[in-house]
Chains A and B, each alone.
Chain A
């Protein structure tokens, strides 16, 4: 569409991140999936009369970890509020959340865009709240089934400023937050299970216009790709409407994955009046400097810091550094590899190349890699000190990957094969020398350039598999033999 260039999209995200605590935010019921229906719902989660919420201290720790990671202000006191609405999977008829006094204040997230550049995005706030249960609509005819296992799972809702301007940027921001929360170990990052759900607020305006347009909110998107696609559709829809001269209304929409479109959610009358007020069952929570200090001490090196260090100190290129720091597991794998083999470039290239190809082929995550980073480091150390060739190293790696065993054995076995190969190679070299007596004379006569001819012939004979350095070595060995 030709008019698109006149318009600019303005996007803000709200991410609901399930914190991976063992117990729920306000009860001692276990958190997780895989329980039979309502088998992980306690009397508190079921909102039985007389039950009361008691805050799980670990959710504070996890929220503060996130806050420190985005260099945000951590509130010295935060508070919980009730947000009232009726829904079958909301047992109390209100959700406990944080309205005016969130635990994490303003911070900044450095988002790496697809072209490798960094875009700082302001995080407005992040607050704690409880998840609702699940409604199952398609299981029983005419009935909706309610499973409250998820009710009370701790959520950290992260709100960004409307500073994203394309579906790609929004997806990159979502991805960056995914990297960060899994890196920090506060969320399992399992998008298929709904561990991170994204709401996107989007409006469009004519470029150069500072006033925001009427915005819509797309609810509950659970993948990077769908965020991008939902926003692509919605931005097109808004632009088309405005180009037609229609007015947009502020509304909530759902993204229909099957049809690749957004459509308005039906909302009950008055349902936007949530009647927030401080939850009288929960006193304000004080967060001591001491606690923040303790948590700061246990913070891991963050992905952005590592990425910069990889470029500045280890002299990796931007895109390799970015790929290595996309998740903590890959980065930690790299770190352990270079503990063993102090050649970062070699290790990095192997991990983004050989290792990642092998993982893709077998559909494994890096924690499941059959070759651990110590083993990889050992193999690469042999390459780095010239004991084996890259080709040989690949063979060792492949053998370890497929057959297991120890690195030492694999290296030894490679050497045996290598030696066997050596004698095979000698035979080839000898036969080529024998079949080109004229050129051999010239070589013996001191015409060093003719050596290239032999090497070429040998390489041709071996289909390029021979190590040229080794070929040269054998060649001079044999010449010495022939010329006592």
Chain B
């Protein structure tokens, strides 16, 4: 787990790791990756990936809209809102 890979993973995960954390987590990740590496030894030629334990087809929803009544209640959960908008620091280049 070199610094470059850890930087990439933390950037993709949007996690800011302190220098202390970086060292600890880098070695943890190395341990974890060693741990999961055993799957490389299993022969899987011709095996279809399985992404879900269920075989059944899903039930769909009908195209019926429902009015949203609780916006203000939802927005009470947010740190910063204004006139019904959620606010974030200015995104410079959209």
B66 touches A28 (CB 8 A): yes
**B74 interfacial by beta-carbon distance below 8 Å:** yes
Chain B residues lying within 8 Å of A280, measured Cβ to Cβ, are: 51-52
A137 touches B94 (CB 8 A): yes
Given A86-B14, A135-B94, decide whether A39 and B84 contact each other with a Cβ distance below 8 A: yes
Residues of B within 8 A of A38 (CB): 71, 74-75, 84-86
Query: Across the interface, do B12 and A285 meet the contact criterion of CB distance under 8 Å?
Result: no
A145 to B89, CA, bound (A): 9
A451 interfacial by beta-carbon distance below 8 Å: no
B56 near A: Cβ within 8 Å?
yes
Q: Once the chains are docked, how many angstroms separate the CA of A368 from the CA of B15?
A: 55
Does chain B have a CB within 8 A of A139? yes
Contact with A along B15-43 (1 / 0, CB 8 A): 00000000000000000000000000000
- Do B86 and A39 touch (CB < 8 A)? no
Nearest CB in chain A to that of B8: its residue: A270
Residues of A within 8 A of B56 (CB): 283
Known: A37-B84, A144-B91. A55 touches B63 (CB 8 A): no
**Contacts A86-B14, A137-B94, A140-B82 given; does A286 touch B57 at CB 8 Å:** yes
Contacts A58-B63, A280-B51 given; does A142 touch B68 at CB 8 Å: no
- How many angstroms from the CA of A278 to the CA of B8 in the assembled complex? 22
Given A38-B86, A283-B54: A28 and B65 interface contact (C-beta under 8 Å)? yes
Is chain B's binding surface mostly helix, strand, loop or mixed?
loop
Provide the bound-state CA to CA distance between A286 and B84, in Å: 39
Counting CB contacts under 8 A, is B87 at the interface?
Answer: yes
Cβ-based interface call for A54 (8 A): yes
Instruction: Kindly state whether residue A43 has any CB partner on chain B within 8 Å.
Output: yes
| A380 within 8 Å of B (CB atoms) | no
Interface residue from A42, A43, A140, A275 paired with B87 (Cβ < 8 Å): A140
B12 and A137: CB pair below 8 A? no
Known: A143-B89, A143-B90, A280-B51. A23 touches B61 (CB 8 A): yes
Cα-based distance from A462 to B93 in the complex (angstroms): 69
A22 at the interface (CB under 8 A from B): yes
- Which residues of the other chain, A, contact B75 by a CB distance below 8 angstroms? 38
With known contacts A29-B66, A39-B68, A41-B68, A146–B61 Cβ distance under 8 A = no
For residue A215, give the distance in angstroms from its CB to the closest CB of chain B: 22
Contacting A at CB under 8 A, from B64-79, are: 64-68, 71, 74-75
Give the B interface residue count (CB, 8 A).
Answer: 36
Would B93 and A31 count as touching, CB distance under 8 A? Answer: no
When chains A and B are docked, how far (Å) is the Cα of A284 from the Cα of B50? 11
> How far is A88 from B79 in the complex, measured between Cα atoms in Å?
14
Identify B84's interface contact among A23, A36, A266, A270, CB under 8 A.
A36
- A277: chain B residues at CB < 8 Å are 51
- Per the bound structure, the CA–CA distance linking A280 and B58 in Å amounts to 12
- A30 interface contact, C-beta 8 A: yes
A135 touching B66, Cβ below 8 Å: no
Q: Is the CB of A282 within 8 A of B86?
A: no
Q: Does A265 contact B (CB under 8 A)?
A: yes
Please, how many angstroms separate the alpha-carbon atoms of A266 and B94 in the complex?
8
Q: How far is the CA of A21 from the CA of B61 in the complex (A)?
A: 12
Interface of A is mostly: loop
- Residues in B neighbouring A124, C-beta threshold 8 A: none
Chain B residue at minimal CB-CB distance from A86: B14
Near B by CB (< 8 A), chain A positions 44-72 give: 46, 48, 54-58, 60
Partner of B65, one of A23, A39, A60: A23
Are B52 and A283 in contact, with the CB atoms below 8 A?
Answer: yes
A310-B37 Cα distance, complex, nearest whole Å = 66
Q: Is B60 an interface residue (CB 8 A)?
A: yes
Q: Does A40 contact B (CB under 8 A)?
A: yes
Q: Which of B58, B68, B83, B91 contacts A135 (CB 8 A)?
A: B91
| Bound-state Cα–Cα, A56 to B65, Å | 10
Tell me, in angstroms, the Cα distance from A140 to B51 when the chains sit together: 44
Contacts of A140 in B (CB 8 A): 82, 85, 87
Q: A23-B64, A28-B61, A144-B88 are in contact. Are A41 and B71 (CB under 8 A)?
A: yes
Decide if A31 touches B65 in the complex (CB within 8 Å).
Answer: yes
Q: From residue A95, how far is it (CB to closest CB) to chain B in Å?
A: 15
Say yes or no: is A157 at the interface (Cβ < 8 Å to chain B). no
Whether B1 is near chain A, meaning CB under 8 Å from some CB there, is no
Interchain CA distance A284-B51 in the complex, whole Å: 10
State the Cβ distance, A264 to closest chain B Cβ, in Å.
10
Is the CB of A246 closer than 8 A to any CB of chain B? Answer: no
Given the complex of chains A and B, what is the CA–CA distance between A282 and B52 in angstroms? 9
Is A478 an interface residue when CB atoms closer than 8 A count as contact?
A: no
Q: What residues of A have a CB within 8 angstroms of the CB of B65 in the complex? A: 22-23, 28-31
Instruction: Give the residue among B82, B93, B94 with the most A Cβ atoms within 10 A.
Output: B94
A369 CB to closest chain B CB (Å) equals 30
Can you list 5 pairs linking A and B with CB atoms under 8 Å apart? A30-B66, A41-B74, A43-B74, A144-B89, A283-B57
Interface residues of A (CB under 8 A from B): 21-23, 28-31, 36-43, 46, 48, 54-58, 60, 84, 86, 88, 93, 135-137, 139-140, 142-148, 265-266, 268-270, 273, 275, 277-278, 280, 282-286
Task: Report the 8 A-B pairs with minimum CB-CB distance, sorted nearest first.
Answer: A58-B63, A145-B85, A37-B84, A30-B65, A57-B60, A146-B86, A23-B65, A278-B51
